[in-house]
Amino acid sequence: MRTRYNARITALGGYVPEHILTNHELEEMVDTNSEWIVSRTGIKERRIVNDAQVATSDLAVKAVARLLDDAKLGPDAIECVIVATSTPDYIMVSTASVVCEKAGLVNAWGVDSNAACSGFLYALTLGASLIESGRYKNVIVIGADKNSAIINYEDRNTCILFGDGAGAVLLEQTTEEEGLIDNVFKTDGCGKEHLIVQAGGSLNPSSIETINNKLNFISQNGRVVFKAAIEGMTQTCKEVFKRNDISSEDIDWLIPHQANLRIIQSVGDNLNIPIEKVKINIDRYGNTTAATIPLCLWDFKNDFKAGDKLLLTAFGAGFSWGASYLIWGKLRGDA
Ligand code: COA
Per-residue pLDDT tens listing for the chain (335 residues): 788 999 999 999 999 999 999 999 999 999 999 999 999 999 999 999 999 999 999 999 999 999 999 999 999 999 999 999 999 999 999 999 999 999 999 999 999 999 999 999 999 999 999 999 999 999 999 999 999 999 999 999 999 999 999 999 999 999 999 999 999 999 999 999 999 999 999 999 999 999 999 999 999 999 999 999 999 999 999 999 999 999 999 999 999 999 999 999 999 999 999 999 999 999 999 999 999 999 999 999 999 999 999 999 999 999 999 999 999 999 998 86
Residue 145 pairs in a beta bridge with 165
Residues in the chain: 335
Contact criterion met (CB below 8 Å) for 141 and 127: yes
Residue 194 known to be catalytic = no
The whole-number pLDDT of residue 181 equals 97
Q: Where are the beta strands (DSSP E) in 16-156?
A: 20-22, 45-47, 80-84, 109-113, 138-146
The whole-number pLDDT of residue 78 equals 98
Which 3 state secondary structure label does DSSP give 310? strand
Contact criterion met (CB below 8 Å) for 179 and 8: yes
Residue 237 known to be catalytic = no
Q: How far apart are CA 317 and CA 87, in angstroms?
A: 13
Ligand 1 atom with least separation from CA of 32: 1
Ligand 1 centroid from CA 222, angstroms:
6
The CA distances from residue 123 to 14, 96, 218, 294, in Å, are: 16, 12, 22, 11
- From the CB of 117, is ligand 1 less than 6 Å away? yes
- From the CB of 259, is ligand 1 less than 6 Å away? yes
- Strands 80-84 and 109-113: what pairing? parallel
Q: How far apart are CA 171 and CA 298, in angstroms?
A: 14
Residue 287 known to be catalytic = yes
The whole-number pLDDT of residue 335 equals 63
Helices (H), ranges, 245-330: 261-271, 282-285, 292-299
Number of neighbouring beta carbons within 10 Å of residue 289: 33
- Strands 253-256 and 309-316: what pairing? parallel
Instruction: Give the amino acid at 170.
Output: L
The whole-number pLDDT of residue 1 equals 74
- Domains by residue range for the chain, with CATH: 6-178 (3.40.47.10), 180-327 (3.40.47.10)
The whole-number pLDDT of residue 331 equals 96
- From the CB of 314, is ligand 1 less than 6 Å away? no
